[in-house]
Structure 1
């Protein structure tokens, strides 16, 4: 039974019992002593009226309201002109500060304001935008967003959260409200690693190579045309240990290229087995093992030069083909064109190898050279052959974007061809990072796929006291704050397979995520560290909300009046007045016959007892 029906039943029962009692008491009196019928009728009607008024005190009649516009002042609303709306009410959220109009009502959140004004059909958001706390309450209403100006600084940053040691990574983004200028990427020692000039749209891209494993805190610094720092943002990077690849290198002879390739592979932690043929059946390197299926299945990558590729007999090529089908990776260093039979076998794999043009010198580019680097930032290199691959994927490109090497899939494995002859010149020129990036990319791309899976956890972090989202965690995971406080995560059932949980950080700094046996550190930046970044994120989220609201309301009919419960105090005053009047009538002599007092008994004049 609903509360409304229950109250009606109780009030009706009370009126009925009260009326029966009054009539029963009256019938017991002598006829000459009974009150006049008018008095009885008035008291009975007063009981009914009192019950009705008490009902309206509890459930006041609804009042119709025409739909209106609610002006919502947020942070930096004072920077926006024409804040109000004709006929609308103005409310201020806590972040609006003190510089608000005198007629603005303060509310702790948007939901409270909408409960006070439920007839609101349209919202005019003025200022920086709505926080995550208020976005859900704003859904389903038409939204007009009057934006505050974007402050100058770093508005967008896109960077990886995790990268393997020795790998090159890219950081891109956009600077807002700044003409000219540049962006620097600085390492933990505050040394510039890369620098990029801003384009006409404020876009930039920076590159760096991850060094030793562990948490590394880089910094992005935005500079104006005079070199003065305008803005900066922390850039935490989780540098992980690379997978230790089992690699076998077969070479037809020693060379500087092979020397520096082996040195890099050993420094990168690869389990390296090298065999160099010196001729006349002589080999240098580790003790030779059998070239059979069992040996190849234990390898992640096989590296051959053009001479060792041509020296494989028919049985060895068949074993290699079967190993490729099982997932082995193969890298062919074509430092020479080889004979016609070698090129024919490469054509069977999907590669077309030809001698180079008369000018074999190349200069690397693409992501290996920053936009601010000079044209001769890297030394020229030599390629022994020209490689093309029908349906192949580029393995490396020169400064003009022309692919230098390709790789193709072969069964479950991959085969790649590199034409570089003297990439060691990068090391001689002091660019060990570029040399390592070239071979690290090639080895990682071609090596046997690992059965290990990376952590599925993703982080969408916000400043303190705003909602951050962690996906890929189990229910009951914990976040440890910088001061040691623990927050238990609860996965939102509506997130489905993504298994996302939200939490609100109470302080900036390094936090630790503990999910079962997995632990991970992440940085919550202070809002004062990245004001432009926070302002842009807030504005974009409110823009998306406003765009979605226009789509939701575009097909709906015209707004209709809505209602809300009316005020209770007028009904309470009326009930109190009626109750007071009934009290007076019951104790007065109005409507009584002569010889009756207000207690329905005769007045006696007997003398007092002695």
Structure 2
């Protein structure tokens, strides 16, 4: 039989007898001599409290306890409730700051703490999460992670590292803990290039076009509903000189569309070979050349209008098809409905070109309209045909998202059909930027693929003292810090053909990668520059570490299973019981709450005593 019920019975009997004694002593006195009711009430309550405390002295309540558990405090641990988190020891890592519990021991890293407490079998991580320095030390242990609240701002951002001058590029990402608001993309002159309203999921996509070649620092800003900046992140782009394309343009006659297309191509540094037929064997432009395999293999792109396409002989179509198989690409400008023979050839390539009247109500929109433009900022354009392709990929779309042109693969080359007949109206309306962007996108999409002589370098730059990853490098590569200190990179054999190496920067700023074949600048951001992104990266990395170790996040403040317990300490209960019993003893012997006994036997006895 457990001793607790017996002890409870004895204590209850003692309290009952003591209460009866106190009440009986009070009722035996005359009404006018009885003590104040508050005195009696306090005496009864202190007796009950003393008995209850004596029980907890004998049987202290159990406390949660997990032997072999280490509580680890990381950055922002003061923002996390520690209720329900138990362990043998509490340690604070350097990121935890100074506002930590008094019983937390400070260590320079997690590995040092684990060496000190070698019996540790599991860890409970509180705060922002484990940095790269401590993750290897935590592997093999059971991990539970209680994360600090996510600060509002950018948590993901994706963009190309290198973009050719004049090309359009997209920036996508995600925000967290932001209600409403918007995201803006700004250039080095702090001009707004694009803006996107944030939805419930926090996803966004921004577009802009590069200008001149060089390292260009763009910025992405997160704004609240009142236009105040919540967060921002640097977006450095390496803008490379545009690729010099060799383009052969064959046209059945002059037109404004061809005029402004040639003007843009020359400005974009494309090497043009233009041949415009005037009829009756007359031609302007460069000298007539042969249309054979050797001639076509010298070009990256062939641009034909529907009239020149219709004049090609059967043999020339066969030569063109063979050139497409070898890598040449074709852009066919359809200014009007094709004949039956041309429609059949297009069908063989995968296009369905419908005979229809010219449609003059086409408006570009979406990514081509700037954040401050009105709905009719761009002029209406016309298309000569409606084109579809079952296996085609969109080449251009209107403001409603309807595809205007498609391209399909043909061997190693590509074939695209372009239905707009008056894109030059964009230039006439002062929107040379949009005119150049749509043609640049078409040319770069279709042009013959260049042969890469070296593997591309990719850099995932992290904040100082965090691990950055650089891939595609050669042996002996070095990184120069902002002050010029070199650090030699060592390729990780586990990365395989990716040729990746880790790099830990010790300061933010521009760093330079150098090896035998590459020289590239990249920016190491400051940890304070993007706090939301840094916090999200730490959180996700720690969650993945906990999942891989068989642990789990603990976001609710209580574990799903109650941890094992042990007997609590007796001495705190004993001290409280001793203080309560002392107060009860003093109260019984004090005259607090007693009334003067005017007619009591004691008063009468005192009056009968002989006076000296």
The CA distance in 1 between the partners of 2:124 and 2:371, in whole Å, is 43
- Counterpart position of 2:416: 416
- Counterpart position of 1:458: 458
Conserved? CA contact 1:366–1:397, under 8 Å: no
- Of 210-219 and 471-480, deviating more is 471-480
Question: Cα distance 1:234–1:550, how it changes in 2: closer, same or farther (>3 A)?
Answer: same
Deviation string 1:384-406 (CA, Å, 9 cap, x unpaired) is 00111232222222223222112
Aligned counterparts, 1:367-446, within 5 A: 367-369=367-369, 374-446=374-446
Q: Say whether residues 1:343 and 2:357 are aligned partners.
A: no
Deviation string 1:522-567 (CA, Å, 9 cap, x unpaired) is 01111122122211211121122122222799xxxxx99xxxxxxx
Question: Cα distance 1:498–1:315, how it changes in 2: closer, same or farther (>3 A)?
Answer: closer
> What secondary structure sits across from 2:337 in the alignment?
coil
Question: Cα distance 1:282–1:261, how it changes in 2: closer, same or farther (>3 A)?
Answer: same
- Counterpart position of 1:353: 353
- Counterpart position of 1:550: 550
Question: Cα distance 1:80–1:370, how it changes in 2: closer, same or farther (>3 A)?
Answer: farther
The CA distance in 2 between the partners of 1:150 and 1:347, in whole Å, is 54
Q: Say whether residues 1:114 and 2:114 are aligned partners.
A: yes
> What secondary structure sits across from 2:550 in the alignment?
helix
Aligned counterparts, 1:289-304, within 5 A: 289-304=289-304
Deviation string 1:318-337 (CA, Å, 9 cap, x unpaired) is 22122122221111000111
Conserved? CA contact 1:362–1:383, under 8 Å: yes
The CA distance in 1 between the partners of 2:321 and 2:479, in whole Å, is 49
Conserved? CA contact 1:252–1:278, under 8 Å: yes
- Of 267-276 and 355-364, deviating more is 355-364
Q: Say whether residues 1:535 and 2:535 are aligned partners.
A: yes
List gaps (5 residues or longer) in structure 1.
1-64, 554-558, 561-610
Question: Cα distance 1:66–1:152, how it changes in 2: closer, same or farther (>3 A)?
Answer: closer
The CA distance in 1 between the partners of 2:399 and 2:453, in whole Å, is 34
The CA distance in 2 between the partners of 1:274 and 1:80, in whole Å, is 69
Aligned residues: 491
The CA distance in 2 between the partners of 1:349 and 1:484, in whole Å, is 56
- 1:192: how far off? 0.9
- Counterpart position of 1:79: 79
- 1:356: how far off? 3.0
Question: Cα distance 1:487–1:83, how it changes in 2: closer, same or farther (>3 A)?
Answer: farther
- Counterpart position of 2:309: 309
- 1:359: how far off? 4.5
- Counterpart position of 1:477: 477
Aligned counterparts, 1:187-336, within 5 A: 187-336=187-336
Question: Cα distance 1:317–1:383, how it changes in 2: closer, same or farther (>3 A)?
Answer: same
Conserved? CA contact 1:172–1:203, under 8 Å: yes
- 1:76: how far off? 0.8
Question: Cα distance 1:542–1:83, how it changes in 2: closer, same or farther (>3 A)?
Answer: farther
Q: Say whether residues 1:364 and 2:402 are aligned partners.
A: no
- Counterpart position of 1:499: 499
The CA distance in 2 between the partners of 1:479 and 1:148, in whole Å, is 34
- Counterpart position of 2:13: none
Conserved? CA contact 2:306–2:336, under 8 Å: yes
TM-score (norm 2): 0.77
The CA distance in 1 between the partners of 2:200 and 2:462, in whole Å, is 29
- 1:182: how far off? 1.4
Conserved? CA contact 2:299–2:328, under 8 Å: yes
Conserved? CA contact 1:171–1:207, under 8 Å: yes
Question: Cα distance 1:368–1:545, how it changes in 2: closer, same or farther (>3 A)?
Answer: farther
- 1:497: how far off? 2.1
- 1:340: how far off? 1.6
The CA distance in 2 between the partners of 1:378 and 1:136, in whole Å, is 56
- Of 536-545 and 300-309, deviating more is 536-545
- Counterpart position of 2:9: none
List gaps (5 residues or longer) in structure 2.
1-64, 554-562, 565-612
TM-score (norm 1): 0.77
The CA distance in 2 between the partners of 1:358 and 1:203, in whole Å, is 38
The CA distance in 2 between the partners of 1:291 and 1:498, in whole Å, is 42
The CA distance in 1 between the partners of 2:370 and 2:159, in whole Å, is 16
The CA distance in 1 between the partners of 2:236 and 2:487, in whole Å, is 22
Deviation string 1:131-157 (CA, Å, 9 cap, x unpaired) is 000011111222111111111222221
> What secondary structure sits across from 1:550 in the alignment?
coil
Deviation string 1:394-426 (CA, Å, 9 cap, x unpaired) is 222222322211222222222111101111222
The CA distance in 2 between the partners of 1:406 and 1:176, in whole Å, is 36
- 1:369: how far off? 4.1
> What secondary structure sits across from 1:309 in the alignment?
helix
The CA distance in 2 between the partners of 1:145 and 1:372, in whole Å, is 45
Conserved? CA contact 2:194–2:371, under 8 Å: no
Question: Cα distance 1:420–1:66, how it changes in 2: closer, same or farther (>3 A)?
Answer: closer
Conserved? CA contact 2:336–2:358, under 8 Å: no
Q: Say whether residues 1:183 and 2:190 are aligned partners.
A: no
The CA distance in 1 between the partners of 2:289 and 2:226, in whole Å, is 63
